Amino acid sequence: MATSSVVDDITRAAVDLFSTQGYANTSVQQIVEAAGVTKGAMYHYFESKDDLLFSVYERMLSLQTEHLEEIVGRGASTAQTLRDVCVDVIETSIDFLPEGTVFFRSVHMLSEPRQKEVTRRRRQYHDVFASLIERGQEEGLYRTDVPRAVLVAHFFSDVHYLSNWYSPEGPEDKVLLAQQLTDLFLVAIKA
Amino acid sequence: MATSSVVDDITRAAVDLFSTQGYANTSVQQIVEAAGVTKGAMYHYFESKDDLLFSVYERMLSLQTEHLEEIVGRGASTAQTLRDVCVDVIETSIDFLPEGTVFFRSVHMLSEPRQKEVTRRRRQYHDVFASLIERGQEEGLYRTDVPRAVLVAHFFSDVHYLSNWYSPEGPEDKVLLAQQLTDLFLVAIKA
DNA sequence: TTCTCGATACCGACTGTTCGGTATGTCGCC
DNA sequence: GGCGACATACCGAACAGTCGGTATCGAGAA
């Protein structure tokens, strides 16, 4: 289909501009010009500028949830599963660094219902993560002197912060970094 | 001075609105109405909306830099100094939670020069922090198998992320949380 | 094969409104 | 009488979204 190309072009341009200029500072006109299409085309495929932003999140959230389910589904040990989940979410966050930038900067610009939806989806992810830690705690693997919510937040803070300092052109390698951050986390929560 | 009250009222209203609605979604009109003053008053004390945002950062950055210098100036051991710095920055970040929200969400909305200035100031802080870790590494206290930049980012990610999940009304106590997060960090970087 | 018709995929000038910023004025105080 | 501290009406630009159009195409009737 030729349509998918148009949609992709628009999405790509939007992510690019949103991540460098911010959502509010980017006009629809800029996006369509960068994508090489017209406003009419954009409003044919997207309901609103808001909708465009949401679609960026949609894609990321779906992908990460998918990965999570796949990894948990493997049925490995708790320790191995948690490690794999950590590494994966860090790696995919690096793969989608611009999306992450947009995400953390501009979720609050979404309309109420959409913001709720995003929050709901993220919480689902966090809940699975938290239950993994809980299982590990029951197995005596992880410390219990710090509230689980703090442990979870402690991990996701790294993921969140990536878009604020990591540069693919920098010295850090993606795979290595994912292992290092995961290791820092796992060492910290060890019983 | 009565003026300081007006300035404070405006700043308070701005932080409040910026943190709940975002910078771009908050009009100058809303701010002055919430502060109980007029546009004229605001533009008498602030150059622009941008200036208003910057002043919020100014205050936070100055305070944290001040604290940092005081703590380092005490001349305690490296381990103790680092611990104190960590606890302090977490605690003050909690004290200035709305400011933090605004900060991390809207720095990119600042004008180029001001953004540069903010980045410069933050880097200064990070550099002092990094040199503390370096000193600790030389003393054999902290691990050296992970790049220092990663260790630094790992810590500041927690500080950064606070405004995304912590609620003063929630079950976590400020002082306790600061200790817990600091502990997680220090355990992770131990040699 | 040709012609029609509906539908999908766009096009781009236009509009209503919002909002940052300003110009001009007023009022009290030194 | 002039200066600092505001008040208020107003301006002009930017911008999201609209709307009346056109082009292309596939299916079915003739």
Structure confidence by residue, pLDDT tens digits, A32-73 = 999 999 999 999 999 999 999 999 999 999 999 999 999 999
Instruction: Give the gap in angstroms from C-alpha B93 to the nearest C-alpha of chain A.
Output: 14
| Average pLDDT taken over every residue of chain A | 94
Percentage of residues of chain B with pLDDT beyond 70: 98
Q: Which of A19, A44, A16, A14 is nearest to A29 (CA)?
A: A14
Q: What is the pLDDT of residue B1?
A: 40
Contact positions of strand C to protein Cβ (< 7 A): 9-13, 18-25
Local confidence band at A5 (pLDDT 50, 70, 90 cut-offs): confident
Across A126-150, average pLDDT: 97
Partners of residue A81 on adjacent β-strands: none
In this prediction, residue B2 carries a pLDDT of 44
**CA dist., res. B53 & res. B51, Å (int):** 5
pLDDT for residue A182: 98
pLDDT per position as a tens digit, B35-47: 999 999 999 999 9
CA B134 – CA B139 distance, rounded (Å): 9
- Give the CA B2 to C1' C28 distance in Å: 14
pLDDT tens digits, A88-121: 999 999 999 999 999 999 999 999 999 999 999 9
Confidence of residue B156 (pLDDT cuts 50, 70, 90): very high
Whether pLDDT at A191 is above 90: no
Class of domain B1-46: mainly alpha
A1 has pLDDT over 60: no
- Provide CB contacts within 8 A for A103, sequence distance 6+: A56, A57, A60, A163
Average the pLDDT over A20-36 and give the result: 94
List of chain A residues whose C-beta atoms are within 8 Å of the C-beta of residue B182: none
The rounded radius of gyration (Å) of the Cα atoms in chain B is 19
Span A48-189 CATH architecture: Orthogonal Bundle (1.10)
Whether the CB-CB separation of B93 and B182 falls below 8 Å is answered with: no
**In terms of Cα–Cα distance, which of A163, A164, A18 is closest to A93?**
A163
- In whole numbers, what is the pLDDT of chain B averaged over residues? 94
A4 pLDDT tier (thresholds 50, 70, 90): low
Residue B5 — very low, low, confident or very high, per pLDDT cuts 50/70/90?
Answer: confident
Which pLDDT does position A2 carry in this prediction? Answer: 44
Q: What pLDDT does A50 receive?
A: 95
- The minimal CB distance from B146 to the residues A150, A157, A180 is found for A180
Å between A122 CA and C16 C1'? 37
Which class is B49-189 in CATH? Answer: mainly alpha
The pLDDT of residue B4 is 62
Where along chain A do its domains lie?
A: 1-46, 48-189
Whether residue B109 has pLDDT greater than 80:
yes
What is chain B's percent helix, strand, coil content, to nearest 5? 80, 0, 20
Compute the nearest-CA separation of A184 from chain B (Å): 5
